[in-house]
Amino acid sequence: MLMYSDLKIAKLPPKLPERGILTKAGVRGYPGLDDAQALLLEVLLHPPVDLGEKILDLTAQNGAVALYLPEHQVTLTERSRAALEVLERQFADDPRVQVQAALPLETTGEFDTVLAVLPADKGNEAVREYLQAAFERTRKGGLCLIAGDKDKGFERYFKWFKAAFGEGEILERHKGMRVAGFIKENSEAQLEAAKTHQYTFEGLHITSLPGVFSASKIDEASQLLLSHLPSPAGKRVLDIGAGAGVLGLKCAQLGANVTLLEEDLAAVRSIEKNAQQAHLNVQALHSDVGSALPVKPDPTKAEFDLVLMNPPFHVGSDVILEVAEEFIRVAYQQVRHMGEVWVVANQFLPYEALMQRYGKVQLVVKNKSYKVLKGIRERI
């Protein structure tokens, strides 16, 4: 039986030769490749100009770029912990490939070619951040290649990049996907900096870095859960998929000992900022669901009294229920015997059956869009 953490060989489109590319649930494009990434790889097989020696991929995903460019020194950066799990395994023994857990503006150095699959699903500010990073990291006279979806703002983003780099054109089209290339003509450009979002919720000042889920306000589902959650004071609380940290930080504010897990590095950075500003002592971990925690299969040794979650069921634009299923498995693995697991989810998602494997499940509340479920860990 394939487990969530297991790696498998990605399914490739017909135009791409097999390279033994690894992937896993939680990585964009799973069980194959992201469509924009696949089109970018087709362009790299027959590049418009010499790529040079040093290449930076700002959105490495499963690292396919490094496998299709075996003669180059490649730096792969990722904010996704699930993708990093794949990259670290795929390139553990490859000295020409450097893997970095980093946000785009945390990268350093100068490169002959810089690549990015634009994260349009994370919003305009996230794309601005990748534009700024791509421009800063591309050497003068170097090449920048971007890929994205025409239906998700690619034409607008193409104009942003062209204004910065000074020269560019669409190199490849396939259905809705586009790949564009740019030559960096100068070392200076007037770039609009990406904005962070800020809001206040019940005494917590929340800052969300570009691309973090529900950046400008608390999402309706999380607010519904919090409005029905009994006081967590004195309890050990685990918040899985914490986003900017509202659920976990609110529990800490009420007197709980809180650990927050997040797959997106930008969210981890946001949690750390928000905890510091609120003078709250919490633990924020960059984690592929529960990968950053020790396995606690024995309920008598589990450390948490209460687990909270608002599980994602999309990776990019794809519905990937394996991720939410892993959230629930990890929650019950980490909660003590007779501890509580609270889940908020869209009405149509069938999480009750998954939770009932471990004990009783109660519908706490529902509205037109969401439901809040409370499970008790009665068995392993």
Q: What are the tens digits of pLDDT across the range 52-69? A: 999 999 999 999 999 999
Q: Are residues 112 and 40 in the same domain?
A: yes
Rg of the chain over all Cα atoms, to the nearest angstrom = 22
Q: Give the model's pLDDT for residue 187.
A: 87
- Per-residue pLDDT, averaged over 245-274, amounts to 98
Same-domain pairing of 34 and 139:
yes
Residue 2 lies in a domain: no
d(CA 259, CA 241) in angstroms, rounded, equals 11
Give the pLDDT score at 299.
66
Please report which confidence band the pLDDT of residue 314 belongs to, taking 50, 70 and 90 as the band edges. very low
Q: What percent of the chain has pLDDT over 70?
A: 96
Q: How far apart are CA 77 and CA 147, in angstroms?
A: 16
Instruction: Please list the helix, strand and coil fractions of the chain in percent, rounded to the nearest 5, in that order.
Output: 30, 30, 40
* DSSP β-ladder status, 168-174 and 177-183: antiparallel
Give me the domain span that covers residue 154.
8-183
Q: How confident is the model at residue 318 (pLDDT cuts 50, 70, 90)?
A: low
Are 175 and 204 part of one and the same domain? no
Residue 298: Cβ within 10 Å count: 11
Is 3 within the bounds of a domain? Answer: no
**Cα dihedral: 367, 317, 349, 270 (round 10):** -60
Indicate the average pLDDT of the chain: 94
Amino acid identity, residue 376?
Answer: I
Question: Is residue 252 located within the same domain as residue 342?
Answer: yes
Same domain, 179 and 206: no
Q: Is the dihedral of CA 53, 54, 59, 62 positive or negative?
A: positive
Residues 101 and 141 grouped into a single domain: yes
Q: Which two tokens stand for residue 101?
A: 């857990």
Cis-peptide, bond into residue 13, ω within 30° of zero: no
Helix or strand (DSSP H, E) at 37: helix 35-45
**Whole-structure pTM value:** 0.95
Question: Looking at the structure, do residues 163 and 26 belong to the same domain, yes or no?
Answer: yes
Amino acid at 215: A
Both structure tokens of 124: 């305009």
Domain stops at, among 161, 183, 205: 183
- CATH number, domain containing residue 357: 3.40.50.150
Together in a domain, 41 and 153: yes
**What is the per-residue pLDDT across 68-99, written as a single tens digit (0 to 9) for each?**
999 999 999 999 999 999 999 999 999 999 99
User: Is residue 296 very low, low, confident or very high in pLDDT (cuts 50, 70, 90)?
Assistant: low
